[in-house]
Structure 1
């Protein structure tokens, strides 16, 4: 069977790069073949898996400079049948791609909002007067650059090579220690290659809403994990979109959901939450491991 893997396109995005590394590793580890299926937006790639159009999706979830990719989190909350199977960590190095002869000629810069935010300091220093326009992906605007010589895009050096476009500046992200974490997501449980190692999951991600916004409401869930010695590596709130001041909470825990201690914590957590969703138990692979 050939697995279909949905990801944010067009070709050349960082998400595609993470997906390519994952496919190569998966093939070496299990012999399973896979094909990449680009989608215009992150939610569409997740809905493709939820609707059975693709077996897996690779989606960005968190960047070390700019923080969480909220559209990923919001969509996962909406889709009950998806589970995180694996996390990939990719180093990110942004470049400014343009057919302009120099920086002074550039009037407009396109890129994904995350990439623009990760390069905000550089843009303010070297291109303070340009128009910044967000796009669905880092590569969406690349095909227009040859016709619009005053336009630039922020994307990877790999994208510049794929589209045969010149790079005006390299390493323009505000922090050279720039990493993005991606999740490999499927319907229910699926062998994503790492299961062959028999290693227990190192992380569990979950999300929950509270029955009421009362003093100390969040303290009780946090105390459950603290008392059991389970470390939280991330916690973040997102609006429920029902009314102002109502929030969902997303947590990453350094433990396997199948362990007895975690099972006990989750059972107690249900008594303090309105809706509790286990998004998945998984391991984290740095991209260097996949080369």
Structure 2
């Protein structure tokens, strides 16, 4: 089985893939849309992409692509701790405090905002497609004396020297990665499962009646279905038009959740079941 992921090699997504699919073939993609298109066109059997970070919130491009462009299904959730380190080329280890610019993914830069502000105020901060891509660039351009922010796997893979460990501003930082498939199946992984979840994408009725969202939430509330997340995203049809992504802490096989969906559809909502799946934790090594 081929597992596609947001690369390059040694990205945080790759770390999650190695923890969950150690015996499968791993295929890196440069961007999230590239990875999802690889799944849609059957180049790969599963796609693993980031969905949400504890500090920075949802990854908009993943959520929007799943709603607007990709008819795929969540088959598992992987939760991994995120530890950010500052790394440089070994040739520049002795002058790392004089780096001219620092490269990383935009989320990683945001997660290290305080550290960067107080230690490297005024230095250029440059975004890359992933933390691993930043590490790869630094490894290939020692003459620039630049630094990357990323994980220890990236430092090891690309031969960089970690000069400052754990530079993230908040130390309880995790990312949710979703395993996606073309078919609505359940991936049973060789990891300890923590919970079962169902993710829905809900569009409100077009008549925009007062209390529409309240009625949606009530369909879950009176059935005592716990919602761990509800978030709005633009429908891209005009200002004020949204869809909602909702995580329900229950398997789709439960009678109550099916009843809630029937009620939402009776109210005129459009409901897409993105997946019913298990949550797994990945251990940082």
TM-score normalised over the length of structure 2: 0.91
* Residue 252 (structure 1) aligned with residue 247 (structure 2): yes
Match of 2:117 among 114, 121, 124: 124
Conserved 8 A contact 2:135-2:149 = no
Hey, what's the Cα distance between the residues in 2 that align with 1:274 and 1:52? 31
1:208 aligned partner:
202
2:16 aligned partner:
18
What is the aligned residue count? Answer: 279
* Residue 114 (structure 1) aligned with residue 107 (structure 2): yes
Conserved 8 A contact 2:6-2:32 = yes
Match of 1:225 among 199, 220, 229: 220
Match of 1:187 among 158, 182, 205: 182
Gaps of 5+ in 2: none
1:36 aligned partner:
26
Deviations 1:120-167 (A, max 9, x none): 121112111111111111111323324344311111011000011111
- Alpha-carbon offset, residue 191 of structure 1: 5.1
Report the RMSD for the aligned CA atoms in angstroms.
2.2
- Classify 1:195/1:130 alpha carbon distance in 2 versus 1 (closer, same or farther; 3 Å): closer
* Residue 177 (structure 1) aligned with residue 177 (structure 2): no
Please list every run of at least 4 consecutive aligned residues from structure 1 whose deviation after the TM superposition is greater than 6 angstroms: none
Conserved 8 A contact 1:103-1:127 = no
Deviations 1:248-273 (A, max 9, x none): 11110101112111110011111335
1:1-291 to structure 2, matched below 5 A, reads: 3-24=1-22, 33-99=23-89, 100=92, 101-145=94-138, 146-190=141-185, 192-194=187-189, 202-212=196-206, 213-288=208-283
TM-score normalised over the length of structure 1: 0.89
Deviations 1:85-104 (A, max 9, x none): 11111011001112343453
- Classify 1:240/1:166 alpha carbon distance in 2 versus 1 (closer, same or farther; 3 Å): same
- Alpha-carbon offset, residue 274 of structure 1: 4.2
Gaps of 5+ in 1: 25-32
Q: Secondary structure at the match of 2:264?
A: helix
